[in-house]
């Protein structure tokens, strides 16, 4: 795709202002509590200029560098998931009258138009997976749909993958290929912008872009190619479903269970995991009650408890559910693997369990 134009670093505030003028709340990356997280962004100054990350299994550190770059880091713990599939969401409110009659009211959120700056290729791929799950199933989920409806996505190609990234092997990065409105590629002087939708092209007209020079285009291409080459991890490119289900009794499941905390951090940071639990929250006076859904995980007991039996009582079964779903039965459900290679589950696992190593250990690195 040919670049639409070039945005100087100093003009990033113009971009934020233009988004605001177009009626968007802008969400973007910023440093908080020692990590890069996504939150409402009003000042371009709040972007992580000069920050770099260092990630490895079970470890994440940020450091300042003497560099003008704003996106020289790989993803932090969050993707787009918390913005669309909220970690807690009220589904309905019930009221009970004195006579005992029940009234149910829907609680679909009135979402505000949101623009997200800095979306990475893996998260665009994960967004597609979440769209499939929440919008294209039996019934669309109105909560997800409301937040998804007015979303403007500004992608940034990855030029600085972390040691835990492996999106090349899943085919989802490091270049943002589709699913965005506007994509930015960072270079020494600023950003090459490419529109990915009519809305993105229209928006680009409001930015102080100058023509992109071939030299800049080449530099960006070289960066992205180098980023791809720098990735240290990979998943076997084939569909692992058959291999995983053929190895349900592999001793490795038992072994990983001695290391795994069954804490569910991997599923919580995974941008494609969708599981949630529903509970009832009555007010103390008993006059009303909300049905609330919250992120859940196949690593919890509640996920598989039916009265008197827990289907997945031990960690061996829970870890196996996660891996066989993510890399196996996801293919049956959504036509591809549920992993987009973002590496979050590796970095944010408190004990550094590496999905690529476990998958290779169980499936073997060769063909089934």
Binding site for ligand SF4 (CB under 6 A): 260-267, 269-275, 297-299, 321-322, 325-326, 339-345, 349-351, 353, 355
Dist CA 149 CA 94 (whole Å): 26
CB atoms within 10 A of CB 34: 10
Q: Are 84 and 59 in contact (CB under 8 A)?
A: no
Query: For residues 26-65, which are near ligand FAD according to CB under 6 A?
Result: none
The dihedral built from the CA positions of residue 83, 338, 312 and 351, taken in this order, carries a sign that is negative
* From the list ligand SF4, other proteins, ligand FAD, none, partner contacted by residue 333 (C-beta under 5 to 8 A by kind): other proteins
Q: Are 353 and 266 in contact (CB under 8 A)?
A: yes
* From the list ligand SF4, other proteins, ligand FAD, none, partner contacted by residue 136 (C-beta under 5 to 8 A by kind): none
Cα distances (Å, whole numbers) of residue 54 to 39, 61, 165, 234, 260:
21, 5, 11, 18, 23
Question: Site size for ligand FAD, by CB under 6 A?
Answer: 3
What SS3 state is found at 228? Answer: helix
**What strands, in cross-sheet order, belong to the sheet with 35-40?**
5-8, 190-195, 182-186, 151-156, 114-119, 25-32, 35-40
By CB under 8 A, name the one of 333, 336, 357, 368 that touches other proteins: 333
Query: For residues 252-271, which are near other proteins according to CB under 8 A?
Result: 258-265, 268-269
Interaction between residue 40 and other proteins (CB under 8 A):
no
By CB under 8 A, name the one of 198, 280, 335, 367 that touches other proteins: 280
* From the list ligand SF4, ligand FAD, other proteins, none, partner contacted by residue 344 (C-beta under 5 to 8 A by kind): ligand SF4
User: Per DSSP, which regions of 190-342 are E strands?
Assistant: 190-195, 276-282, 288-295, 305-306, 309-310
Task: Identify the residue whose tokens are 């260092």.
Answer: 54
Question: Site size for other proteins, by CB under 8 A?
Answer: 99
By CB under 8 A, name the one of 20, 64, 65, 103 that touches other proteins: 103
Least distance to ligand FAD, CB of residue 278, Å: 8
Q: With CB under 8 A as the contact rule, which of the stretches 41-49, 132-140, 174-182, 227-235 interacts with other proteins?
A: 132-140
One-character DSSP codes across 336-350:
S-S-----HHHHTST
By CB under 8 A, name the one of 67, 87, 225, 232 that touches other proteins: 87
By CB under 6 A, name the one of 307, 332, 335, 366 that touches ligand FAD: 307
Residues contributing to the site for ligand FAD (CB under 6 A): 305-307
């Amino acid at each position: 795709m040919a670049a639409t134009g070039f945005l100087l670093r100093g003009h990033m505030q113009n971009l934020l202002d233009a988004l605001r003028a177009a009626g968007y709340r802008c969400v973007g990356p910023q440093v908080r509590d020692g990590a890069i997280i996504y939150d409402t962004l009003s000042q371009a100054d709040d972007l992580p200029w000069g920050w770099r990350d260092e990630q490895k299994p079970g470890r994440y550190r940020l450091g300042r560098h003497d560099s003008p770059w704003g996106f020289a880091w790989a993803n932090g713990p969050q993707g787009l998931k918390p913005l669309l599939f909220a970690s807690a969401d009220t589904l309905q409110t019930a009221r009970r009258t004195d006579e005992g009659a029940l009234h149910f009211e829907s609680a679909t959120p009135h979402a505000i138009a949101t623009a997200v700056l800095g979306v990475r290729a893996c998260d665009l791929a994960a967004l597609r997976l979440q769209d499939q799950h929440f919008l294209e199933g039996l019934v669309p989920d109105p909560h997800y749909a409301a937040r998804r409806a007015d979303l403007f996505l500004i992608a940034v190609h990855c030029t600085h993958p972390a040691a835990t990234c492996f999106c090349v092997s899943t085919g989802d990065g490091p270049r943002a290929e589709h699913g965005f409105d506007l994509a930015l590629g960072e270079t020494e002087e600023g950003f090459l912008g490419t529109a990915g939708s009519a809305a993105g092209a229209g928006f680009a007209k409001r930015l102080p872009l100058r023509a992109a020079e071939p030299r800049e285009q080449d530099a960006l291409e070289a960066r992205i190619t180098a980023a791809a080459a720098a990735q240290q991890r990979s998943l076997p490119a084939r569909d692992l479903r058959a291999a995983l289900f053929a190895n349900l009794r592999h001793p490795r499941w038992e072994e990983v269970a001695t290391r795994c905390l069954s804490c569910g951090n991997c599923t919580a940071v995974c941008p494609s995991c969708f599981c949630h639990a529903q509970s009832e929250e009555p007010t103390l006076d008993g006059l009303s009650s909300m049905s609330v859904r919250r992120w859940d995980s196949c690593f919890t007991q509640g996920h598989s408890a039916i009265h008197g039996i827990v289907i997945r009582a031990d960690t061996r079964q829970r870890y196996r559910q996660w891996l066989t779903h993510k890399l196996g039965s996801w293919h049956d459900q959504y036509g591809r693997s549920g992993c987009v290679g973002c590496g979050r589950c590796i970095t944010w696992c408190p004990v550094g369990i590496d999905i690529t190593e476990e998958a290779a250990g169980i499936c073997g690195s060769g063909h089934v």
